[in-house]
């Protein structure tokens, strides 16, 4: 949305923005040192939207121009592209968590602050609508079940949960933000048994035992955004097992603006879900692979920055049969060639795509805990 700039009224900003747009059309085509050139999948931003997408991540005057032009009807933001402001961290989720009625967590309920494991367990197990503010470091163990309609958010820049994790089991409408997870003894965050409408945003994950964020057993409508994963192996499993075919028709998840920083594998590893959307993430020195699509899944991988990744994408992995994977407009530095194949179902929500060459700096500056003031 257009905001006042240095005291200039909104209407004047809009007019100046429209003029800036006309002067700045030379910048409309996104740049990339190398694009993978794979065929486009269903759900791609239409050609008419690409001019709008090109302004994402540009200088401030171009962002104002885009917003003004959108208000004047110059661009459509409804078919794969959203206003430029959506590129930056927001206090509402985009992606799949914005569908199926949306994800609001504990909005409208009471707010409590917790400083101990006992207090945190009591709060997350409550049937009430709650915003739970985590202050300081909380040490606990095991998987701790979270009930529906909760926002769990770290206070300040050092809120930490160590030793254990959250189990979102057949719950809905849960938000987890601004927390550092470390040394978990099972999973840091586990979604299972039909968990739905969950937003996991601006957290940091390091040095745990099993999955950092695992999503399985018919869970659905999830967004994983602006997180920093580092010093860890198994990062983001999507789909329980090859034999759990009940996951078909579920596991619709968006991963965007995450930093997979030297993590080894599963960014994500997908079974059955279609469409799964992986966009504008930064993959750095991932030892085994970036993204894997298996067991008939459909994954759209677009606008990501791969650096030092020998296997950016796999179609099929280990004993799991292949899924579909469409890759487009990604940027590769000292990385291998992605495996692609098949087609992917349409992406139903609006989103804005930063040109891939700008993703590294954008994500490094914004991903992880301590970067927002929720």
So which residues are the catalytic ones? 266
Nearest CA to 272 out of 216, 222, 312 is that of: 216
Rg (CA), the chain: 20
Residue 142 contacts residue 164 (beta carbons within 8 Å): yes
Count other C-beta atoms under 10 Å from residue 122's C-beta. Answer: 13
> Which residue carries 């966009």 as its tokens?
279
Instruction: Please give the structure tokens belonging to residue 232.
Output: 């860890």
User: 42 vs 26, 30, 287, 291, 356, CA distance in Å?
Assistant: 28, 20, 30, 19, 20
- Going by C-beta distance under 8 Å and a sequence separation of 6 or more, which residues neighbour residue 122? none
> Which residue carries 């619709």 as its tokens?
252
Q: Which helix (H) or strand (E) holds 11?
A: helix 10-23
Phi, psi of 293 (to 5 degrees): -110, 120
Output the DSSP codes for 195-238: -EEEEEES-EEES-SS-SEEE-TT-EEEEEES-EEES-SB--EE
First to last CA, the chain: 19
Phi, psi of 177 (to 5 degrees): -145, 150
Output the DSSP codes for 12-54: HHHHHHHHHHHHTGGG-SPP-S----PPPPTTPPPHHHHHHHH
């Amino acid at each position: 949305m257009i905001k006042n700039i240095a005291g200039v009224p909104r209407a004047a900003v809009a007019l100046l923005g429209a003029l800036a747009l006309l002067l700045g059309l030379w910048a409309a085509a996104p740049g990339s040192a190398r694009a993978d050139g794979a065929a486009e999948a269903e759900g791609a931003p239409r050609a008419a939207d690409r001019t709008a997408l090109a302004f994402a991540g540009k200088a401030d005057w171009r962002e104002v121009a885009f917003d003004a032009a959108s208000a004047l009807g110059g661009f459509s933001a409804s078919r794969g592209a959203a206003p430029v402001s959506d590129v930056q961290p927001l206090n509402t989720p985009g992606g799949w968590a914005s569908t199926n009625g949306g994800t609001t967590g504990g909005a409208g309920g009471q707010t409590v602050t917790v400083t101990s494991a006992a207090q945190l367990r009591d709060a997350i197990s409550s049937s009430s609508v709650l915003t739970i503010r985590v202050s300081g470091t909380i040490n606990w163990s095991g998987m701790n079940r979270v009930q529906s309609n909760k926002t769990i958010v770290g206070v300040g820049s050092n809120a930490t949960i160590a030793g254990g994790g959250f189990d979102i089991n057949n719950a809905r409408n849960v938000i987890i933000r601004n927390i550092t997870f470390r040394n978990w003894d099972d999973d840091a965050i586990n979604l299972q048994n039909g968990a739905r409408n969950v937003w996991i945003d601006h957290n940091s994950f390091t040095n745990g035992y099993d999955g950092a964020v695992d999503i399985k057993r018919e869970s659905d409508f999830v967004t994983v955004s602006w997180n920093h994963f580092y010093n860890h192996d198994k990062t983001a499993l999507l789909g329980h097992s090859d034999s759990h075919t009940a996951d078909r028709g579920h596991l619709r998840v968006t991963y965007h603006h995450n930093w997979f920083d030297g993590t080894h594998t599963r960014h994500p590893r997908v079974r059955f879900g279609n469409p799964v959307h992986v966009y504008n993430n930064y993959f750095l020195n991932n030892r085994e692979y970036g993204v894997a699509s298996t067991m008939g899944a459909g994954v759209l991988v677009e606008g990501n920055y791969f650096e030092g990744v020998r296997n950016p994408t796999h179609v099929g992995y280990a004993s799991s049969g292949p899924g579909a994977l469409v890759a487009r407009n990604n940027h590769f530095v000292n990385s291998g060639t992605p495996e692609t194949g098949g087609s992917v179902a349409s992406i139903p929500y609006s989103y804005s795509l930063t040109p891939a060459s700008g993703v590294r700096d954008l994500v490094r500056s914004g991903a992880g805990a301590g970067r927002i003031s929720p």
